[in-house]
A and B are shown apart, each in its own frame.
Chain A
């Protein structure tokens, strides 16, 4: 097989944007499994939607003349010719200046970019594997259309957050055939940005439970004081979430904020928690799977600054819990396993993780936003009856 050629389609390529962390790895390589790994493929073209302040795209094109900047998505895929001329497309619709709607969703043009990509596929009578960063779209209908299109045209399509690919502390999975009673995911950040990361982390664990994924039936999002009220309930049945699961997440955190001067690692009391959450509003998404599993995703910026997860399995008094390691230094190696998963898809022509995972988390994110928009109202989610099986091997970074 000839060395694959790939194209990047990005909103903005600047320092610390997702495009930088992902595309730079195709250009410079990255540390992987005990050596400096160079992806066995050539990034030959890039479309950049916005050349904002601190743009790196031109700098990278200068340093790597083999990567040409094209003014349209179609040209970046055809390399200025008539037909699709690359073997893979990396779509990164994250960062840049895009408007927000009334619900607070940033209108990233991921769907629009994707449709332009498949137009080229159609006109060329040929497709190529596609990766799309983070959630598929802010718009649920568009997200379903993206997945439907990839299936109808039969091209490999993966998407989502880097969290499922990342190192886990400890490196564990939900055991095969385990029945999961309840899960809690805990993350920093805000709605429509970090919720998707946390939901993807939770979902990559959940999808391995007994029976595979069967979908989500309801979503109830809480914000501000309602979050603390629910937290004080101490159990799902009482209207909150299992206090032990929440504590397990806090125990897994390496960035547990401290209230008392002079102490560096003390578990806060429930009464102290609100005073630690100051920069973003606290959020909880309480959702129920159709097989009965209860799930709570918490965004508690200020209390913690990392991603943790805990699960209560049926017939097991010990909780399963872990931390997704998102390292905080340059060059942000938590992008490395995601880039590797993209490479593997392009090399093998097989999706390395289920697109339906990201379809579900996209739907959960939109449902959470909708529930908040409706005044923290519980909503039924029949459209999230998404059934899928996990890939045989997990992509999380182990070796």
Chain B
């Protein structure tokens, strides 16, 4: 049955229905068609720090309202945003306008948002987007987004109301490895599907590379750009989604060390990261700075040291002995690339995690599609431990940074999990 609210919403949908749905009658027909399968729409609450233009909440949240492209068609999942919590509302806040246009309510607390104004949990899933907004940083440079606090308030409702629903958490679980661990344990204890992380693991790749499941990796190198702790996190999770497919699965982290400046290059000379992996990864870059009017062999032409004023290397040693490195090379390139050496093969494996540009930032459609998959199926398509590990590695690497760049043993990062065999990156 079409509801009164559906009818009220048609005016807004008419404006967003695509080139060839022009008349209200067509829109009504489309709504009826979707309702006819007998399944009610899944109701979603969004819990976000801030909702303004090109914030994660806007470009991801809007996709639940207006749809998104995937596999060559405009997806309109049977999902309805029914409530929203917004932590900060600066002058360019869009939450009230969105709520008015799309017929949902903005509540002053997370508990009310999840109960949609009633007395019990009233949604089928919660999407947490705790990215962007004005929050303090700590001495390690971490922006103290209240993702853990949001999560705790969400699970408080789950526990009080005796029911839990799937939760998505955008980006790292928390700036703190302890909080991230607790979040994963809570989801496990309350048995609700929990998906999290970056869009990099699920966006397009150039080339279309997935490491063979169960491969033996001898060494892996990731190149990233941007600031800490926003972008190094993305790079760490991109690397993680590749190396977790290795033989034996993820075995956890034995130690981490972050170095900066000349120590990065010295480590390369000493063989701590490999020159040929650097060349392989850089060969996948489509954005070169410096003398970029012509193609550059940045791995070998000696310009890297000149271009990268503040290099950083994140050394991550795994419990099974695998050495992995993230190099942050701001000034040389503008994209995220990866290379690995597999045992028994001559050729290196390499790819770029492609981030389509503004305004469409189409990578977020790839991520939203995975959230939709979880909401539809009730199963997280890939393990939250991937994000827990990336969150924890970053936190401890930043400990290394503020502790004189020393190597830190990390028995607390004994995070073991098995990756899904199937691919989840966008290739359709």
Interface-forming stretch among B34-42, B147-155, B354-362? Answer: B354-362
A250 touches B19 (CB 8 A): yes
B280 within 8 A of A: yes
Residues of the B chain whose Cβ atoms lie less than 8 Å from the Cβ of A34 = 280, 283-284, 339, 347-350
B227 within 8 A of A: no
B362 touches A265 (CB 8 A): yes
Interface residue ranges of A280-331 to B (CB < 8 Å):
310, 319-322, 325, 327-331
The count of residues in chain B whose C-beta lies closer than 8 Å to any C-beta of chain A is: 62
A373 within 8 A of B: no
Residues of the A chain whose Cβ atoms lie less than 8 Å from the Cβ of B404 = none
Known: A264-B358, A273-B19. A251 touches B72 (CB 8 A): yes
B286 within 8 A of A: yes
Interface-forming stretch among B179-187, B234-242, B294-302? Answer: B294-302
Residues of the A chain whose Cβ atoms lie less than 8 Å from the Cβ of B63 = 265
B410 within 8 A of A: no
Interface-forming stretch among A20-28, A151-159, A210-218, A345-353? Answer: A20-28
Residues of the A chain whose Cβ atoms lie less than 8 Å from the Cβ of B297 = 28-29, 36
B322 within 8 A of A: no
Interface residue ranges of A241-278 to B (CB < 8 Å):
243, 246-248, 250-256, 258, 260-271, 273
* Assembly CA distance A333 to B335 (angstroms): 13
Residues of the A chain whose Cβ atoms lie less than 8 Å from the Cβ of B286 = 327, 329, 333
* Assembly CA distance A243 to B21 (angstroms): 11
* Assembly CA distance A270 to B16 (angstroms): 11
* Assembly CA distance A234 to B21 (angstroms): 11
B360 touches A264 (CB 8 A): yes
Residues of the B chain whose Cβ atoms lie less than 8 Å from the Cβ of A260 = 15
Known: A167-B206, A264-B359, A329-B286. A30 touches B295 (CB 8 A): yes
Known: A271-B22, A325-B206. A252 touches B339 (CB 8 A): no
A254 touches B350 (CB 8 A): no
Cβ-closest chain A residue relative to B62: A263
Residues of the B chain whose Cβ atoms lie less than 8 Å from the Cβ of A30 = 295
Residues of the A chain whose Cβ atoms lie less than 8 Å from the Cβ of B16 = 266-267
A170 touches B20 (CB 8 A): no
Residues of the A chain whose Cβ atoms lie less than 8 Å from the Cβ of B428 = 170
Residues of the B chain whose Cβ atoms lie less than 8 Å from the Cβ of A328 = 357
Cβ-closest chain B residue relative to A271: B22
B61 to chain A, nearest CB (A): 11
Interface residue ranges of A25-47 to B (CB < 8 Å):
25, 27-37
Interface-forming stretch among B52-60, B104-112, B324-332, B379-387? Answer: B52-60
The count of residues in chain A whose C-beta lies closer than 8 Å to any C-beta of chain B is: 63
B66 touches A266 (CB 8 A): yes
* Assembly CA distance A321 to B204 (angstroms): 15
B58 touches A264 (CB 8 A): yes
Contact of A265 among B68, B72, B97, B348 (CB under 8 A): B68
Cβ-closest chain A residue relative to B364: A265
B79 within 8 A of A: no
Cβ-closest chain A residue relative to B365: A265
A267 touches B204 (CB 8 A): no
Residues of the B chain whose Cβ atoms lie less than 8 Å from the Cβ of A24 = 293-295
A171 within 8 A of B: yes
Residues of the B chain whose Cβ atoms lie less than 8 Å from the Cβ of A391 = none
Interface centre among A24, A29, A265, A397 (most CB of B within 10 A): A265
A15 within 8 A of B: yes
Chain B residues proximal to chain A, CB less than 8 Å:
14-22, 53-54, 58-59, 62-63, 66-70, 72-74, 94, 97, 204, 206-208, 279-280, 282-288, 292-297, 299-300, 334, 339, 347-350, 356-362, 365, 427-428
Chain A residues proximal to chain B, CB less than 8 Å:
15, 20, 24-25, 27-37, 56, 167, 169-171, 231, 234, 243, 246-248, 250-256, 258, 260-271, 273, 310, 319-322, 325, 327-331, 333, 336, 397-399
Nearest first, the 7 A-B pairs at minimum CB distance are A31-B283, A321-B72, A251-B69, A330-B292, A36-B297, A270-B19, A254-B356
Can you name 10 A-B pairs with beta carbons within 8 Å? A29-B295, A32-B283, A36-B283, A247-B73, A254-B362, A256-B360, A264-B59, A269-B17, A330-B292, A399-B207
